[in-house]
Structure 1
Amino acid sequence: MRTSSTVLSLAVAATLLSAFRPSVAAEEAKAQQLNKVKVTAEDEGRSTVGNAKVVGVKELEEEQAQNFEDAIRYIPGVSIVDMGRFGDNGFNIRGLEGDRVALTVDGLSFAESVETTPAYEFFRASRGDIDIDSLKGMEVVKGADSITAGSGALGGAVMFTTKDPYDYLSPDGNDSYFRVKTGYTSSTDELMTTATLANRTGPVESMLLYTRRRGHDAESWYDSSPIATGSGRRTPDPIDHESDTVLAKVDFLIGDNQRFGLVGEYSRATNEINNLSRVGGPGYLTRRADDDKDRDRYGLRYSWDAAGTFFDSLEWTADRVETKSRGLTTILAGTGCVPVNVVPCLRSENRATDQVLDRTALDLTKAWRSGSVGHDLIYGLAWQKREVDFVAVDSRYIGTTRDTSSVTVDPDQVPNTDVTSYSAYLRDSLYLLNDRLTLHAGVRYDRTEYSPNLDAQFVDPTGSVRDVEFSAPTWQAGVDFKFTPEHSVWAQVGRGFRAPTVGELYAPTQSSIVTEVATGNQVSLWDSASNPNLESEESLNTELGYRWQTDSLQIGLSAYRDKYTNFVENAEFILNPGTQYRSCTGTTCTVTQGKEYTMAANVGEVTVKGVEVEGRWVISQQWSARLAWAYSEGEKGNGDPLPSILPASGVLGIRYQSPTQRWSLTGNVTHAEAKKLADAVLTETAANDFFTSLVPDYLSNEYTVLDLFGDINITKDLRLNAGVYNVFDKKYYQWPRVRFVNEGTTTLYGYVTGDGIGRYSEPGRNFRVSLSWQF
């Protein structure tokens, strides 16, 4: 922990407890409530999956969420996969992670993962792709929901919705709104400012939102390290983070029920990293990184609310999203200075990805009743095209000058590829028996076509790269029955799918020259190849639940079993097993029976099952309580555990709201079980990737953490939010981070020695504070 953070945290806590005393009359305090900010996500969300959590902007601001990890802090069974150098590498939901959890913002999918190598990753170098202050809400779906989220929603989905002008304006007439919010987060030493301007003049609504963030590395529990460099470094590598985000929207109101709008987003984020934990020996005298991530979005949208024959509401959108990510690593090396032998020397490694997404979609809704039977129908179709490209350039310099001794353009990680997708969906919710019985049923069809473009930058010596296509029908069905006004049971079953990524299909293909032992002929055989015969990954998700709901009490209990098939992983194969080949490296030659090569393949299946509990209790007008708990276990087809399963965890929250509604105070206790060794050990044949060890060197510990946060309306236009997190300064580790860490060596990523594991610990006692003013 950092001493300064501890003192300031205690000061914030004292301020919270002393400030929350009514100092004005009840009527005056009531008038001082925020009366314009009414940005909310739809309470029921878009998904009909039984376990879907909607987090609105009010909850995000009360909890002072600054990034995706903060946003899901109190949702058990969900975590961030913080391994991406260019940004958070997605979410973990019920043990499924990365591209197996769909991520969308306003219906637009995030850029897909393009793997490089573990050496080009950095721990906690990211802040996510979408700034949290531009969101009006997020919906976290546990379990497959391809009807809503499409490809990738195997284990679940996270769907973000950005703010709109009408969220801030009065329902009718000309109106203007301005708000500025500034805040500080001690764990990252981050200062942020968000300014929001909204206006309606006649038939034109507009909004401009700008967020600026300046911060540093996320601290660990330790505030110092006896070892400054190398794998024994106990504190995180220094990071300077900057980001600027602009969200602009203009809507033209056409009559009472139509609007046409323009949307634009501009995002620039940089991380400057002094990679001290990788410095060691003569190879790495210094190692630095300069990473940039740019995201631009341009879009049109049209909506029409009309009680017509075929639809009640119609929404058409057309968007382009350009995402550019660059990771520049600069190394001062004491060895390997070639071709010009001047020691020490500089070398740089530039890795960049560029993705462009074009999408247009039409979504419609229709609700009607026929006697005692009600229908709630949604349907639509979409087209999108994604262009994926990657480039790698290695430069060597003469000594420490900027004069290059060599520049090597490495073969692309993937070929420049166009991915075109078509989809159509329909889902109906049927209400029977005076709405006591609800039936949900939906179907969706997706077709995805891949067109790689081979050129001098991506050479395919194997001849295995070619156009491929995937098609996948998916479905979902569910029932909800209220056998009394307070008690109900529900069940659902659904099919999810995920088409392979460009990286899985077309990762570098290579061949080498070997000699046939029998004939002495030299032949070129595969070392790695693409697999155009891959099938989409699929899931079958089943879940059964019970709810007890009264005016003051809500309790939900569910049990689920999810089965995933056709998992895509790199596997080893033997080419021509009946032939002996000799291959030589230097003066060493080996003879093998057949030629071994690697290729992505559908290699196995996984079963995940678990139990989840959610409860809320309105104790009185001032007091309320919340409980959430999740337990999962996963097993691969060969009997091995699924290492990515999160340990059981739960959240207990108590909230007090003042009688005048002027201030509130919340205490959340988070508890997580330790990761057991038996749930993480794999057999020798199971460790196919770099980040999977047969026996993990580190396991997360059991921990219990208390967070205390609250807010006060100082005046009707001035609001203060403050909070102390990890109040009792608990030292703890989270499994999603330490499971990637191994003990040993001094230069490779993910390895630590001695006290080095300390840099993966979570922050100690820390605080956040923000002040917002509006008119």
Structure 2
Amino acid sequence: MKRPPCVLAMAIASCIAVPALAITPAESDAPQTLDTIAVRAMRDKQRSANQNVVQMDAAQLQQEQAESMEDIVRYVPGVSIADMGRFGENGFNIRGIEGDRVAMTIDGLSMAEGLETARSYEFFRAGRGGVDVDSLKRVEIIKGADSISAGSGALGGAVVFTTKDPYDYLKPQGNDTHLGFKAGYTGYNDQALGSVSLANRTGLVESMLIYTRRQGHQADGWYDTTAVRTGSARRTPDPIDHDSTNVLSKIDVVLGDAHRLGVVYERNRVENLVENLSRVSAPGYIERWGDDHNDRDRYGLRYLWTAHGAAFDTLELQADRQDTESRGTTRIVTGSGMSSTPATANSSRCTLAATCWRAEDRDTEQTLDRVALDLDKQLQSGIAQHRLAYGAAWQRRQVDFSAIDYRWNNVGALDTATVDPSQVPSTDADNWNLFLRDRIGLDQDRLQLTLGARYDHYRYSPRLDASFVDPTGTVRQVSFSAPTWQAGISYAFLPEHTVWFQAGRGFRAPTTGEMYAPTSTAELTVVGTGQTVSVPTLAANPDLDAEKSLNLELGWRWETPKVLLGVSVFRDRYDDFIDTLATTVDAGTQYRSCSRGACTVRNGYSVTSTVNVGQAIIKGVELEGLWRLDERWLLRGAWTHNHGELDDGTPLNAINPDRGVLGLSWQGLDDRVRITGNLSHSLAKKRSDVAVADDVFGSTPEPFLSDAYTVFDLFGSYRINARVRLNAGVYNLFDTRYSQWARIRNVTRGDFYLYGYATDEGIGRYSEPGRNLRMTVYVTF
């Protein structure tokens, strides 16, 4: 049987890229039991049938010294991190689609959905939940729609995380114990890290515990000095104290050759204490601090049955609960205005001589309960070999939000504590789905077909209470369904040449924030009658549809034992994009509104709501190549070009400039030393590819654009002995000054502190780190 191209590529790369002291059992020469092989075949299988999948295992992540989500995609063209500013990473950008439009799963469980208050104020933005790199044994980055495996959000791609298992550290059979230590330092954010891994097999029980702690600071920019300490002209990043811990524990009970029962617990805690110096400008803000927490807890049960029966070969049943909480507290010392809207006799004016404190507390909690059944079956039908995967799942996501504003007067006494209206009502979002996928091999697998279908049903059940009042009457229970499909074909028309084509329909269900944004009304007077009426100004949209995508991709691969070369072209169409728009209602009637003694008359009134809008098209081409020069040298490269715009010709700002990576790796004959040099190059972002919107003052400032850049990284590993390995690297070796479009595209040019502006000098705080070092030591017993 011909090995799939992506597997061959990884096999070649592993000859060089795998660290010298691996801690996975795949490197062991000991015989494996049938049960161990069956377990790995089920748990370690590639989840996606997509042709364009980038896979990275724990060994590759260690070799590249990846310590964050941004590190994971450093050498993956066409993929970047969606930057959240003060709040850190917020998911992935794949081919110009980002945020909740890119699905993220961990062991099959969806990550939290995004939620934010006013973006320009940067008071709160909920993270999707933290994942620590040290807990992962594999990451799959899926380019193109694949809702069948990744579910809602996989419009243009998905990122699938798979965590480590006890058997990743143990011998294939018999009692065994593993103890591992990792200590490291990353220079660009002054991060010290430590990790301990324990694993044991005693009789029928396999267990594992991984504990990781990280302490660091803000990511450096290229500049290390600034002429202006505060405000939008600050050239260095705002100071941040970063602290994170991650615990992953698993216990498996092997009940026999056919049955395995497992328990998993995962705990992730991330805290960032931010001194927002770039937002400080007297007399408005004298001090501004952000204290942000992102917590995630996961509990789960797994049951695996290796039956090789008529209906299925393996059955996996899992039940999980995941709690995700994001808390953002913004503390401000202000020197202007009142401590609050005067509510008590203690209310007093704030001045530079008599300052006042404010605090904005924002909190969202999401609980996800999920039960999933996955089965697979291989069977022969005439000349066709079928590899079936099918199953069903049910899940309920509970979303809640709270906000409290505190005001202290200028003598330090608490003036008011106001419970703000909730950003969303408490909501239960129920979903169930069914899926079936068949990979069909014909002509000894020279011709391979993939056919798949999935059906999802959603129901949103909001609960109105004192913290979320809906005067418009537009918030109510909503249900909708979303069918999706996937089809693909590949044909090896020559022994070393394969052409392939795939098509897929993706979808994204609306988030709770999109379904039920805050609602409000206003009192207006009908000019013709003098009648006072209450009209909606912010309204929910119960008729919202799921976003949809149609992804088409055509590719060719030339594959030999030493060379892999591939090219693919794609066209992705996105329909029913969800956006927030203001529309004019009843334009034939004149309405009068009065505020602070001034009155205005307009035709109709404006209602802001989330709606399905327009269509977007993204096209592109991707190149990949591997060349095993000999047993010691490996050359690899990749390049991607994307172009996207709305149906009216407006460019999509989330599209990153063309980017490529060229890497050369070498390993010693005794396999003790491995060295890799990676050259990354990006083109500049053109002004013609950027759509500029008016800022909050109604002006249209010129956007900041990223220049072309070339960065060289040099890293490697040295196996000191059988138990100790040292990894080290110099990143941005030639100290190149550059900025990435993904970071600067949301920055507004101007000299104003409140809305996240930056001057031509201040944009320097968004630059990437200059030359920086990393070092990691691994010890195993």
Range of TM-score over shorter length: over 0.9
Q: Work out the CA distance in 2 between the residues paired with 1:504 and 1:127.
A: 16
Cα deviation for residue 746 of structure 1 reads 2.6
- Asked if the contact 2:129/2:324 (under 8 Å) is kept, the reply is no
Cα deviation for residue 372 of structure 1 reads 3.3
Cα deviation for residue 489 of structure 1 reads 0.1
Cα deviation for residue 754 of structure 1 reads 3.9
**Counterparts of residues 564-583 of structure 1 (less than 5 Å):** 564-583=574-593
Q: 1:738 to 1:39 in 2, by over 3 A?
A: farther
1:483 is aligned with what amino acid? F
Q: Work out the CA distance in 1 between the residues paired with 2:23 and 2:118.
A: 48
**Comparing 389-398 and 747-756, the one that deviates more:** 747-756
Q: Does 1:426 align with 2:436?
A: yes
Q: 1:697 to 1:655 in 2, by over 3 A?
A: same
Contiguous gaps of at least 5 residues in structure 1: 1-31
Match of 2:544 among 497, 516, 534: 534
Match of 1:521 among 519, 531, 534: 531
Cα deviation for residue 119 of structure 1 reads 4.1
1:589 is aligned with what amino acid? C
Q: Does 1:197 align with 2:191?
A: no
Match of 2:492 among 474, 479, 482: 482
- Asked if the contact 2:474/2:539 (under 8 Å) is kept, the reply is yes
Cα deviation for residue 118 of structure 1 reads 1.6
Q: Does 1:763 align with 2:764?
A: no
Q: Does 1:34 align with 2:21?
A: yes
2:746 is aligned with what amino acid? F
- Asked if the contact 2:50/2:144 (under 8 Å) is kept, the reply is yes
Cα deviation for residue 82 of structure 1 reads 1.0
Query: Could you say which residue in structure 2 is the equivalent of 1:741?
Result: 747
SS in 2 for 1:99: helix
Q: Does 1:314 align with 2:320?
A: no
SS in 1 for 2:228: coil
Cα deviation for residue 749 of structure 1 reads 3.6
Q: 1:128 to 1:220 in 2, by over 3 A?
A: farther
Q: 1:246 to 1:693 in 2, by over 3 A?
A: farther
Match of 1:465 among 450, 472, 475: 475
Query: Could you say which residue in structure 2 is the equivalent of 1:5?
Result: none
Query: Could you say which residue in structure 2 is the equivalent of 1:390?
Result: 401
1:773 is aligned with what amino acid? V
Task: Output the aligned Cα RMSD.
Answer: 2.0
- Asked if the contact 2:660/2:681 (under 8 Å) is kept, the reply is yes
- Asked if the contact 1:709/1:724 (under 8 Å) is kept, the reply is yes
Q: Work out the CA distance in 2 between the residues paired with 1:697 and 1:429.
A: 47
- Asked if the contact 1:85/1:126 (under 8 Å) is kept, the reply is no
Q: 1:114 to 1:319 in 2, by over 3 A?
A: same
- Asked if the contact 1:87/1:129 (under 8 Å) is kept, the reply is no
2:348 is aligned with what amino acid? N
Q: Work out the CA distance in 2 between the residues paired with 1:516 and 1:765.
A: 65
SS in 1 for 2:50: coil
Q: 1:394 to 1:55 in 2, by over 3 A?
A: same
Identity %: 54
Q: Work out the CA distance in 2 between the residues paired with 1:69 and 1:124.
A: 19
Cα deviation for residue 37 of structure 1 reads 3.0
- Asked if the contact 1:478/1:491 (under 8 Å) is kept, the reply is yes
Q: Does 1:381 align with 2:387?
A: no
1:248 is aligned with what amino acid? S
Q: Work out the CA distance in 1 between the residues paired with 2:454 and 2:773.
A: 46
**Comparing 673-682 and 319-328, the one that deviates more:** 673-682
Cα deviation for residue 460 of structure 1 reads 0.6
Cα deviation for residue 246 of structure 1 reads 0.6
Cα deviation for residue 471 of structure 1 reads 0.4
State the Cα deviation string for residues 40-65 of structure 1 (Å, max 9, x = none).
99897221111111111111000001
Query: Could you say which residue in structure 1 is the equivalent of 2:780?
Result: 774
Query: Could you say which residue in structure 1 is the equivalent of 2:30?
Result: none
Q: Work out the CA distance in 2 between the residues paired with 1:753 and 1:123.
A: 24
Query: Could you say which residue in structure 2 is the equivalent of 1:552?
Result: 562
- Asked if the contact 2:318/2:371 (under 8 Å) is kept, the reply is yes
State the Cα deviation string for residues 608-666 of structure 1 (Å, max 9, x = none).
00000011110000000111000000010111111111100000000001111111000
State the Cα deviation string for residues 298-321 of structure 1 (Å, max 9, x = none).
110100112111111111110000
Cα deviation for residue 283 of structure 1 reads 0.8
Q: 1:524 to 1:412 in 2, by over 3 A?
A: same
Query: Could you say which residue in structure 2 is the equivalent of 1:7?
Result: none
Q: 1:400 to 1:222 in 2, by over 3 A?
A: farther
Q: Work out the CA distance in 2 between the residues paired with 1:691 and 1:559.
A: 42
Number of matched pairs = 739
Q: Work out the CA distance in 1 between the residues paired with 2:564 and 2:721.
A: 34
Query: Could you say which residue in structure 1 is the equivalent of 2:13?
Result: none
Q: Does 1:91 align with 2:92?
A: yes
Query: Could you say which residue in structure 2 is the equivalent of 1:25?
Result: none
Match of 2:348 among 331, 341, 345: 341
Q: 1:35 to 1:141 in 2, by over 3 A?
A: closer
- Asked if the contact 1:681/1:694 (under 8 Å) is kept, the reply is no
Match of 2:721 among 709, 715, 724: 715
**Counterparts of residues 164-175 of structure 1 (less than 5 Å):** 164-175=165-176
Q: Work out the CA distance in 1 between the residues paired with 2:320 and 2:184.
A: 32
Query: Could you say which residue in structure 1 is the equivalent of 2:12?
Result: none
2:770 is aligned with what amino acid? G
Cα deviation for residue 692 of structure 1 reads 13
Contiguous gaps of at least 5 residues in structure 2: 1-18, 28-39
Match of 2:449 among 424, 431, 439: 439
Query: Could you say which residue in structure 1 is the equivalent of 2:6?
Result: none
**Counterparts of residues 322-721 of structure 1 (less than 5 Å):** 322-336=323-337, 337-338=339-340, 339=342, 340-343=347-350, 344-399=355-410, 401=412, 403-682=413-692, 687=693, 696-721=702-727
Q: 1:247 to 1:550 in 2, by over 3 A?
A: same
Q: Does 1:215 align with 2:222?
A: no
- Asked if the contact 1:681/1:696 (under 8 Å) is kept, the reply is no
2:777 is aligned with what amino acid? L
Cα deviation for residue 484 of structure 1 reads 1.0
Q: Work out the CA distance in 2 between the residues paired with 1:691 and 1:624.
A: 54
Q: 1:286 to 1:243 in 2, by over 3 A?
A: same
Cα deviation for residue 691 of structure 1 reads 13
Q: Work out the CA distance in 1 between the residues paired with 2:764 and 2:364.
A: 32
- Asked if the contact 1:87/1:127 (under 8 Å) is kept, the reply is no
SS in 2 for 1:314: strand
Q: Work out the CA distance in 2 between the residues paired with 1:213 and 1:249.
A: 22
- Asked if the contact 1:413/1:503 (under 8 Å) is kept, the reply is yes
SS in 2 for 1:737: helix
- Asked if the contact 1:125/1:271 (under 8 Å) is kept, the reply is no
Q: Work out the CA distance in 1 between the residues paired with 2:698 and 2:779.
A: 49
Query: Could you say which residue in structure 2 is the equivalent of 1:728?
Result: 734
Q: Work out the CA distance in 2 between the residues paired with 1:39 and 1:757.
A: 47
Q: 1:122 to 1:231 in 2, by over 3 A?
A: farther
Q: Work out the CA distance in 1 between the residues paired with 2:379 and 2:763.
A: 59
SS in 2 for 1:609: strand
Query: Could you say which residue in structure 2 is the equivalent of 1:112?
Result: 113
Q: 1:146 to 1:266 in 2, by over 3 A?
A: same
Query: Could you say which residue in structure 2 is the equivalent of 1:256?
Result: 257
Q: Does 1:232 align with 2:242?
A: no
- Asked if the contact 2:154/2:507 (under 8 Å) is kept, the reply is yes
